[in-house]
Amino acid sequence: MIPFLRTLALLLLLVQGIPALASRQLDKERVDIEGMATNAVRAKALLELATSHAEKDVNLSLMHAHDALGLARLSGNDELVHDALTLIAKAQLELGLHAEYMKSTLEALEISRARQDAVSMAADLRALALAYRHSLRPDRAIQESRNALAILLQTKDTVAIDMAYRGLVEELILGGAHQEALRICDQALDRARERNDMLAQARLWLLVGEAMSHQRKFGNALPYLVRADRVLDSLGNREDRFRAAVGRARAALGMGMAEEAASWVDRAERTAASGNPARSAEVLSELRYRVALARGDQATALALLQGIQAARDSMYNARSAQQIAGLQTMYELEVKEQANRRLQEKNDLNEERITAQNARSELLLTLLAVASVLVLVLGASFWNNYRVVRRLRLKNQVIRRQSDEIHAKNMELERNNLRLAESIVSE
């Protein structure tokens, strides 16, 4: 119990130190990213940061992934958008934000469908099945697991298909459909035998044993668990060996073999999976409690039960604190996103105003140019008319002067004619 309580204490300390640590880390790590050239490059860098912080600081990972999502959307790269949504969903699941996790997963699934990426679609459907499991909807979890398997069967990706088979079987077991789980296991085992994949067969044998144990058919489950344990002990990872030991312990308890169950619990503790130590500690405590009951050790069983209850209370408090920290992070990100959206809207409005102002300025300049041309044309026309009128006036003056001169000469001729006539008459 001490390691388990120590883990819970460390988890509480981690949750309490998240805001200040996240702020310092963000200021330190953004220096290089802000100077990068394109939105796509910056988004990739932030995704790498989010991945590196996923194990040690979920809130910081969530912040980086959220910022990467914004840049990825600006870049128009759907693959980066999908990767960012996947990391965001993973962080939200770790923080216990199941509603937000489902929302992010559904958005990622839409992008996968638009891209027609079968592998990504299957992974998103498995994530959606997990979301339905946390929402206590085993029927929908089974349905989405079936959909994921159906998609992957068309890809010929052996590893992904094996994982999809196991995921579907796990959901069927959790949903109580044990006979169908066994039928699906038989199908998957046939595929594994065809390629002589012992590790895949062992993992499926383990699931068969777990399904039979859930049906309380411990005697039938034991041969499968033994075969799985032998192979996984040499070929499997720590999680495989831990699950095999837990399965053997539960089968032994079901058959009333308390001492053998205790030895398997000890082995499970030695091979406890490192990925989720709190969950491993909870499983081990529950098994030790059942072993104590099987031995008839009521005092030890009571102490273990009290420890389990205290651990669950501590875990609940830690999970609540973590959820509050996660909600605070999501709220801060939402506020930041709203501020960015308002700033973007303001920038768009300013850009529209500037565009309209430029258009008005261009129109005014055009009108001024047209008016100037008209003024020049009118001025030139006026000047030309003025010159024509002036020429006509001068011509008229010349003509009038010539007319006056001709008239004067005519008068002079008439006088001469009169004098000539008078002289003729007088002679």
pLDDT tens-digit readout, 209-239: 999 999 999 999 999 999 999 999 889 888 8
Query: Residue 416: its pLDDT value, please?
Result: 84
- Percent of the chain topping pLDDT 70: 83
pLDDT, mean over the chain: 82
**Could you tell me if residue 404 is inside a domain?**
yes
Task: Specify the range with the lowest mean pLDDT, choosing from 12-26, 127-141, 362-376.
Answer: 12-26
The range of the structural domain enclosing residue 404 comes to 373-427
Residue 2: pLDDT over 50? no
**Could you tell me if residue 418 is inside a domain?**
yes
Reported as a pLDDT band with limits 50, 70 and 90, residue 304 is confident
**Could you tell me if residue 415 is inside a domain?**
yes
pLDDT in tens, 103-145: 988 999 999 999 888 888 999 999 999 889 888 888 999 999 9
Query: Residue 199: its pLDDT value, please?
Result: 93
Report CA 290 to chain centroid distance, whole Å. 43
Which residue reads 């079987």 in tokens? 169
Q: Count of CB atoms within 10 A of residue 78's CB? A: 15
**Could you tell me if residue 9 is inside a domain?**
no
Report CA 203 to chain centroid distance, whole Å. 32
**Could you tell me if residue 382 is inside a domain?**
yes
Global confidence as pTM: 0.64
Q: State how far the Cα of 115 lies from the Cα of 126, in Å rounded to an integer.
A: 18
Please count the structural domains in the chain. Answer: 1
Residue 312 near residue 274 (C-beta atoms within 8 A): no
Q: Which of 249-263, 276-290, 347-361 has the highest mean pLDDT?
A: 249-263
**Could you tell me if residue 343 is inside a domain?**
no
**Could you tell me if residue 103 is inside a domain?**
no
Task: Compare 309 and 74 and report the one with higher pLDDT.
Answer: 74
**Could you tell me if residue 220 is inside a domain?**
no
Write the DSSP symbol of residue 275.
S
